[in-house]
Amino acid sequence: MDGAEPLSEKAYRWVDQVVTQHGLTPSEVFAIAEGLFSTIQSLLPPEMDPSRAIHYRVEIATALAHYFANRAEHLAAEKAQLETLYEITRELTSSLDLPRVLQKTLAEVTSAIAAEKGAVFLVDGAAGQVVVEATINWDGGNVPLRAIPSEWQLGQPEPLLIVNDLPAEEAEAWLAQLAGGEVRALIVAPLVANGEFRGLLAVASPRAGAFNTTHVRLLRTVLSQIATAIGNAEVYRLISRQAQELGQMLRHQQEEGTKSQAILTSIADGVVVSNTEGRIILVNPAAERILGTAGSQLIGHDFHTLFSAFNAQGREEATAAMETLLSTSDSGVSKVFKTILEIDNRVIHAHLSPVLTRREEFLGVVIIFRDITKEVEADRAKSEFVSTVSHELRTPMTAIKGYTDLLYAGAVGPINAEQKRFLQIIKSNTDRLTALINDLLDISRVETGRVRFEPKPVQVGEVIADVVNALAGQAEVKHQTLTYEVMGGLPEIMGDRDRLNQVLTNLVSNAIRYTPEGGTIEVRAYLVEGAVRVDVRDTGIGIAPEDLGRIFERFYRADHPMVQETSGTGLGLPIVKMFVEMHGGRVWVESELGKGSTFTFILPVPTQTKEDEGYRPTPHLMARMRTVLVVDDDPDIANLIKMHLENSGYRVLVLGSGRSVVAWAEEKRPDLILLDLLLPDIDGLE
């Protein structure tokens, strides 16, 4: 029958249908076919040619055999593919060493699809390329990410690029760069895992059309597994790197901890650390020596135990500082406290500060103890030495100055102009030396606690007026304008008038000295928040920013031509600072170079009770003194004083030692006694 479907093809479709739908085995299919042949043969008429039936039977049997042969071949291919997938999966899961996994996986893939070449490319974000990670006979190179299809980079695993004949087809340029030479057939597939583009898998052959649909299907099957393995290896590599970094950090912390412990053990300063509750958690050996207490007796105890051995005043100050630090722990404010403590005739400097992390988290308080007993003793000895030397210097200087004044005044006869000029030079330099000696004596007296400080109610405005009037002549010589302004109703302060006079004299004389001719100096006093504030403003040379922090240091003078040309000791401002602080006040300066300076100090106003209101001390009026007793072991000084007093109409008596003063004074009852404080037989204060 022309045009009719051949019997063999019908048989092929039939067996495929029954096997697919019913899952029959080859034996069952052949048994059905044999039964069908027998039934058909029994139904054929006797006159029919039996060879024709036999021909049909052979044709159907051949079709069945051909089908099952193809089926067996297909199953063998699927088996081989499954075995390849198994090997690939085993390799991918057997190790997290990415280079090794990729190389073995690539070998399995190229072997399974009979590819002569293969390569795995991974994304290098920093370089902006896909770079070769594993290869087999590969000649190609890296490719820029911008050349890769955008859908792949967006995480889409399709479509695969399949090129049957690279030289003949119009392929994109990046494929030729990727594949290299001697490549005709090429498959390039994206490696995508969890929607992230990780790289490329490429297989190639020098044979055109080397790859079929089975090969493509196998590649599609392994792509996601390879990409997942790459992701797992990357995670493993990241975790490994972090673990290594963590290990290095822990080792570094251990090393730093060991170093810190060694430092704490070896330093001479005592270190004590408390937690946020004020309990001691660390005491180094130096602190044990300074405190005279074992660390085991302090650790775990409250900070009050730590300060209990110190003197009362120091203990109260240190306790208040600790309470402040612990109470302000949440504010993020970094406060530092310094105090002086005494224990067993030793002087200890304590430095208290919070322990804060980089995030300003409060961890506790660290206390640094330093034994400064030797420094204090040395400083006291230095002050005593300066005081003694200054006093001894002042005695001959007083004689030189006094007799020079007498010569200059013509007390022993007339002098000519040249002699008068020489005496003026001597007088000027002795005044400078006397001022220096007096400043040194003032500082040493304050440091040794021997300064006489007699606080009484004082009107600051009166002191300002006295100082301005006294120095007006100096300002007039330089054609300067010197003014003062005192707020009305300014309250009295408790202070030593002489010391305040010295403070204002130093500030105003400095302003005159360092203000050019024609400048202005202004002194103002007014009330601010329970204190009297005094400003001394000038239009002088000003102070450089780098000098502002040091001008209250002893002997410090700014490096300015006008300062260097002007005589001075560098002690005026330190004395100002000491005397202001003795009054419970503070002093500071604001200045701009070339525009002038403003020195400011404030003095507290005492609070008055109702009983105190209206009280004023009654002035003590003294009659004119006639008899003066001068007690000095230096006869030159005694005679000089005697000469000046006698010229003023006083009766003067002189003693050279101190032990007979009391008896002599009780007998003679002088109106005034001028007494040297450092006598050879007895201290003048005694």
CA–CA dist 102, 229 (Å, integer): 9
The domain 274-451 is placed in CATH, from the list 3.30.450.40, 3.30.450.20, 3.40.50.2300, 1.10.150.120, at 3.30.450.20
What mean pLDDT is predicted for residues 258-282? 82
**642 or 486, greater pLDDT:** 486
- In this predicted structure, what is the pLDDT of residue 2? 46
Q: What is the mean pLDDT of residues 143-163?
A: 86
pLDDT in tens, 166-185: 887 777 888 888 888 788 88
Q: Rounded CA gap, 150 and 169, in Å?
A: 22
Quickly state the pLDDT bin for 8 (edges 50, 70, 90).
low
CATH number for the domain running over 453-604: 3.30.565.10
Please, which pLDDT band fits residue 507 given cuts at 50, 70 and 90? very high
User: Among 204-208, 370-374, 426-430, which is the least confidently predicted range?
Assistant: 426-430
Per-residue pLDDT, 25: 66
616 — pLDDT class (breaks 50, 70, 90): very low
Domain residue spans of the chain: 7-79, 97-239, 274-451, 453-604, 627-683
DSSP 438: H
Instruction: For the chain, give the number of residues.
Output: 686
- The mean predicted confidence, pLDDT, of the chain is 78
Question: Three-state SS across 104-164?
Answer: HHHHHHHHHCCCCEEEEEEEECCCCEEEEEEEECCCCCCEEHHHCCHHHHCCCCCCCEEEC
Helix (H, G, I), strand (E, B) or coil at 615: coil
58-109 confidence digits (pLDDT tens): 766 776 677 666 666 666 555 665 566 556 666 556 566 777 778 877 887 8
Bridge partners (DSSP) listed for residue 16: none
CB 147 within 8 A of CB 129: no
What pLDDT is attached to residue 612?
A: 47
Q: Which of 125-139, 242-256, 428-442, 601-615 has the lowest mean pLDDT?
A: 601-615
Band of pLDDT at residue 686, cut at 50, 70 and 90: low
pLDDT of 544 strictly over 70: yes
C-alpha span between 656 and 503 (Å, rounded): 35
The pLDDT of residue 651 is above 50: yes
Q: What is the pLDDT of residue 6?
A: 65
Most confidently modeled of 246-250, 552-556, 664-668?
246-250
The pLDDT value recorded for residue 603 is: 92
CATH, range 97-239: 3.30.450.40
Top-level class of domain 627-683: alpha beta
Task: Read off the pLDDT of each residue in 137-152 and give the average, rounded to a whole number.
Answer: 88
Is the pLDDT confidence value at 193 over 80?
no
- Who has greater pLDDT, 325 or 644? 325
pLDDT band at 602 (very low <50, low <70, confident <90, very high): very high
Q: Do domains 97-239 and 274-451 have the same CATH topology?
A: yes
Alpha helical stretches, state H, 482-621: 497-513, 545-548, 561-565, 572-582
pLDDT digits (tens, 9 = 90+) for 290-308: 888 888 888 888 888 888 8
Strands 531-538 and 520-528: antiparallel
3-state secondary structure 331-360: CCCCCCEEEEEEECCEEEEEEEEEEECCCC
DSSP string, 265-324: HH-SSEEEEE-TTSBEEEE-HHHHHHHTS-GGGTTTSBHHHHHTTS-HHHHHHHHHHHHH
d(CA 419, CA 628): 34
**Hey, what are 661's tokens?**
């003063």
